[in-house]
Amino acid sequence: MSNKKSTKSSTFSLSLTRAPLALAISAALSTAAWAQTDAIDKPDPSNDMEIMVVTADFRSASLEKMPSSITVIDAQQIQDESAQHFEDVMNSIANFNWSGGSSRPKYFQIRGVGEQEQYQGAPNSSVGYIIDDIDLSGIGMVSSMYDLQQVEVLRGPQGTRYGANALAGLIYLKSNDPTDVFEHGAEVSLGNDDLQTFSGFSSGPLTDSGKLLYRVSLQQHQQNGYRDNLYINKEDTNGRDEFTGRAKLRWYATDNLQLDLTLLHADFDNGYDAWSLTNDPKHTISDQPGVDSQRTTGAGFKATYSGAESFELTSLTSFANTDHHYSYDGDWANPEYWASKQCDIYDADWNSIGKLPCVYDATWSKVGQRKTFTQELRLTSSDAGRIFNESTDWLIGVYFSSLQEDNSLIDYAKYSNGGLNPSFKERTKYLDSTYDAQNYAIFGQLDIDMSNDYLLSLGLRLENRSSDYSDTNLDDFSPSETMWGGHLALSKALSEQHNAYIRVARGYKAGGFNMTLPADFSDKKEFNTETLYNYELGLKSSWLSGALSTNVALFYMDRQDQQVSASQQNPEDLSEFVLFIDNAGSSKNYGLEIDANWYIDSNWHLYSSVGYLNTAYGDYQYEVAEDQFVDLTGRDLAHSPHLTYSLGGTYRANSGWFANVNMSGKSEFYYSDSNDSRSEPYTIVNARLGYEASAWSAYLWGRNLFDEEYGVRGFYFGNEPDNGWAEKQYIRYGDPRQIGVTLNVKFM
């Protein structure tokens, strides 16, 4: 097998066959744009602070009035930082992390709480993930940033609004709405790693009356994935091939009835070949590279009726159908590599009697389909419907969701067994499973305008969850439980510039089950519901006549029956470890977040964030092998860096020249709860330079300019015979340096 790397014709080569639709849109729109160079005014930054509006809650409200720790990343910052995917803006969010065991991020941690993986079992997420009211929690990798209005990250339990899937917080992506005037645009980006991104949008009225509006956006993104597979001589085994399409219709049916339809189709056909036995961040030697593909088709329908005098009626309906395939090469190498190594052979008393060429081959693959349906009805008081002497806004609602997921799993392994005849063991495990869950909830909220500039908010949600699981291993579970969550928040306007608040919130995450466990693990079959109490104190301020805004939050979190990933040696096969979810007694998290925005003048804008996080397990240990225990008492939670930070600055000259430089970083953190392997602290620097005219703009940009090598996932185990199978840290690295150019056109 040749290890010679194939030759690229050009890192900026343009393949017309890979994205014909997007390229055609770009060409058509750009032609029209050049003919209308005066159609749009030049960017006109203002030193007046833009009012950030949070849309993920029941009522849209300005960020500075929300009694909660929230980060909003608007469309301007997304564009200024050349963000193509949610992955590109995550590091600017305080106390936010992710675990990189997939081609794109889909397992997130907020304030140290969140999954690191979900290979099997009930798909219960700690961090909610919603795109335009379509719930994609646990499968949020389909997250293009193109044509987005903003990203909202709500920290802490969202028990009143979102219930069981938002124990740690919520990520909400809102795309741009249809406009009542015509707007069109296109964008092309080219870069090293054979990056090619083609995007386009169109928006405007469909009728002369302006009562029916539309918006359509498309994006095709492709690149090789930064790693060359030296064994099979390919450059794109870790590649990305991602299509995202959105369509929106808004109909003002009557003066009192507004109907909004959102359609989403995302087809991510990515490779997954990211691990190396030598921890090489740019080369792999696997013979069966994995895949990480997801195809999601979803829709959301919102009806808003405001014809009643005292209330507004809102109906939210959504569905999503997702097909996904995740696989990886379990031995991270190839037959020739393993045959070049020597493995011990033993007699009946386990005395070494010689060596033979090693045999090792392993693959893991899961193919699944998930269908979700949600329906929410709520009544929200109008100004005329306020109660208690017109001091109190109210809302009440009901919610239903259904989730069905079918999975087929194949786990294959062949490996040296230390014997002579035969000298290896081979096995294949198959598992087909079906999971169904239904959630019913009622919720309500009171927002009370008290005297002396005090506001009191009380919310409560009662939720029942019933589920059924069965598989071909004859595991059968039908858990059912009733859970509750809510919040109590008191805010005080200290002055026109300063708002303080104190908040207590209770979140919950449904219990679950562990399947395919050996008989000795009967006590691990099920685990309990996790609850989280969050205590928060915050201050939101504006300074310098409104040019500078700061948001500061202090928090303390008390988790009970914390659900943790654990592993234990299989007593029926000592070469294997059994993975399962267990309940730790408790853990405590506390820290702070600071967000700041400073519009120095009409040309300069500075922004920053800082997060400090301290986490610690209570009294918790578990057995990994006979008489061997992992004691996590007092230790930090995995993927919980003590420090996260970001700093960025944008300069827009009156002449049209533009520059943005931003940096972000994290301190070290544990990769896993099962060992003490840690990441290294890192800082990433990005930049974007360009020129912005009335109807077009051009940019040169770079991400990770100093080519920082930083870990996003890690394991610690023995996997190499050369060093006697001694345990070693293995790291999956984040994206290296990326340089590219972008051309953007728009017209009306």
pLDDT tens digits for range 188-237 = 999 999 999 999 999 999 999 999 999 999 999 999 999 999 999 999 99
Q: How far apart are CA 532 and CA 60, in angstroms?
A: 25
> If we measure between CA atoms, which residue out of 303, 459, 306 comes closest to residue 383?
306
Backbone angles phi, psi at 413, to 5 degrees: -150, 140
- For the entire predicted model, the pTM comes to 0.92
> If we measure between CA atoms, which residue out of 88, 276, 217, 290 comes closest to residue 704?
88
pLDDT at 634: 92
What per-residue string of b and e applies to 723-747 under the rule 16 or more CB within 10 Å gives b?
eeeeeebbbbbbbbbbbbebbbbbb
Q: Which residues have C-beta within 8 Å of that of residue 361, sequence separation ≥ 6? A: 287, 331, 335, 338, 412, 413, 414, 415
What per-residue string of b and e applies to 514-544 under the rule 16 or more CB within 10 Å gives b?
bbbbeeeeeebeebbbbbbbbebebebbbee
Q: How far apart are CA 503 and CA 555, in angstroms?
A: 9
Strands (E), 571-642: 573-599, 604-617, 621-625, 628-631
Q: How far apart are CA 702 and CA 687, in angstroms?
A: 5
Q: Tell me the helix, strand and coil percentages in the chain, rounded to 5.
A: 5, 60, 35
Q: What is the pLDDT of residues 691-732, one digit of tens each?
A: 999 999 999 999 999 999 999 999 998 888 888 888 899 999
* CB-CB contact of 146 with 199 (8 Å): yes
> If we measure between CA atoms, which residue out of 721, 727, 655 comes closest to residue 691?
655
- Three-state SS letters, 266-333: EEEEEEECCCCCCCCCCEECCCCCEEEEEEEEEEEEEEEECCCCCEEEEEEEEEEEEEEEEEEECCCC
Q: How far apart are CA 648 and CA 664, in angstroms?
A: 9
Q: Angle CA(667)–CA(673)–CA(676) in degrees, nearest 5?
A: 60
* CB-CB contact of 662 with 651 (8 Å): no
Q: How far apart are CA 169 and CA 109, in angstroms?
A: 9
Q: Which residues have C-beta within 8 Å of that of residue 492, sequence separation ≥ 6? A: 452, 453, 454, 455, 499, 500, 501
Tokens (6 digits) for 351: 């005395």
| Residue 572: Cβ-neighbour burial (10 angstroms; 0-12, 13-18, 19+) | exposed
pLDDT at 575: 66
Q: What are the beta bridge partners of residue 556?
A: 535, 590
The Cβ of residue 608 has, within 10 Å, a number of other Cβ atoms equal to 20
Classify strands 657-666 and 682-692 as parallel, antiparallel or unpaired. Answer: antiparallel
Q: What is the pLDDT of residues 37-69, one digit of tens each?
A: 443 344 444 444 567 889 989 988 899 999 999
pLDDT at 609: 98
**Domains of the chain listed by start with CATH number:** 20-747 (2.40.170.20)
DSSP code of 399? E
Tokens (6 digits) for 18: 């890979």
Q: What are the beta bridge partners of residue 482?
A: 464
Tokens (6 digits) for 536: 């928060």
Q: Which residues have C-beta within 8 Å of that of residue 597, sequence separation ≥ 6? A: 49, 548, 549, 605, 606, 607
Q: Which residues of the chain have pLDDT under 70?
A: 1-50, 574-575
Q: How far apart are CA 264 and CA 257, in angstroms?
A: 23
pLDDT at 568: 76
Q: How far apart are CA 595 and CA 611, in angstroms?
A: 9
Tokens (6 digits) for 337: 């590599």
Report cis status (omega within 30 of 0) of the bond before 289: no
How many distinct helices (H) and strands (E) make up the chain?
3, 42
Concatenate the DSSP letters of all residues of 498-519 into one string: EEEEEEEEEEEE--EE--S--G
Helix, strand, or coil (residue 26): helix
